[in-house]
Amino acid sequence: MIQFENFVPQKVQDDIEKAMLKMPWYFNTIENDIYSITTQTPTYFVNLIGCEQHGTTASDAKPFIPLLKRLEEVTGRSYIDRIVRMKANLYTRRPDFAEGHHHLPHLDIFDNETKLGDPGEILLYYANDSDGDTAFFEEKRIDTKNPTLTGKLPHKKGMAILFDNTILHASASPRIAEYRMNVNFVFRR
């Protein structure tokens, strides 16, 4: 896992945040029966960037291209041609969200038979300052009940995290900030 502070210049950070505030958002909720006692059901908004069904086109991905170019610059590897999905997430304030809790631990893409993550990488980019940490876990199977927490990272504007798709992770709703926005890139190996 690699964490990047101020992944892109401040102007690019601001442009991305503005673009996300203008894009159409679609309500989503996740129901699942493998919650641990520290998991709460998220209700949030999504946009599959570049997906016409979500009211966007490939041209709507333009504000996010600097993230991909920067990732290629800092890693020396190609990513643009390996994109599986670009997804924006918007969680609104939930004062009732219990402190220290998180949403359902998950893998972004996984094999339905083995319940293991498909080979690939994830880039999470935080578009605004917010409470609602991202939690990471030790176990590798999507159906793990009560996975072991290995760490949390704060939701800080301009921060990006690159990690392997085999790492279980979970978001959390903000209790204080008005909203929490991030962009999630999934890349195949």
| 76-92: pLDDT as tens digits | 999 998 998 899 999 99
Compute the average pLDDT of residues 160-187. 95
Q: Look at residue 54 and tell me whether its pLDDT is greater than 80.
A: no
Nearest in space to 122 (alpha carbons), one of 178, 177, 152, 160:
160
> What is the pLDDT, as a whole number, of residue 59?
80
> What is the pLDDT, as a whole number, of residue 26?
85
Q: Look at residue 28 and tell me whether its pLDDT is greater than 90.
A: no
Give me the amino acid identity at 160: A
Between 143 and 129, residue with greater pLDDT: 129
Mean pLDDT of the chain: 88
CA distance 104 to 35: 6
Q: What is the DSSP string of 81-94?
A: GGEEEEEEEEEE--
> What is the pLDDT, as a whole number, of residue 37?
41
Compute the average pLDDT of residues 117-145. 93
Between 55 and 24, residue with greater pLDDT: 24
By percentage, how much of the chain surpasses pLDDT 90?
59
> What is the pLDDT, as a whole number, of residue 88?
93
Compute the average pLDDT of residues 156-160. 98
Per the structure block, which two tokens stand in for 44? 């949030």
Q: Look at residue 98 and tell me whether its pLDDT is greater than 90.
A: no
Nearest in space to 11 (alpha carbons), one of 177, 129, 155, 158:
158
CA distance 90 to 44: 6
CA distances (Å), origin 73, targets 4, 69, 126: 13, 6, 19
Compute the average pLDDT of residues 114-140. 93
pTM: 0.90
Upper half-sphere CA count for residue 24 (Cβ side, 13 Å): 12
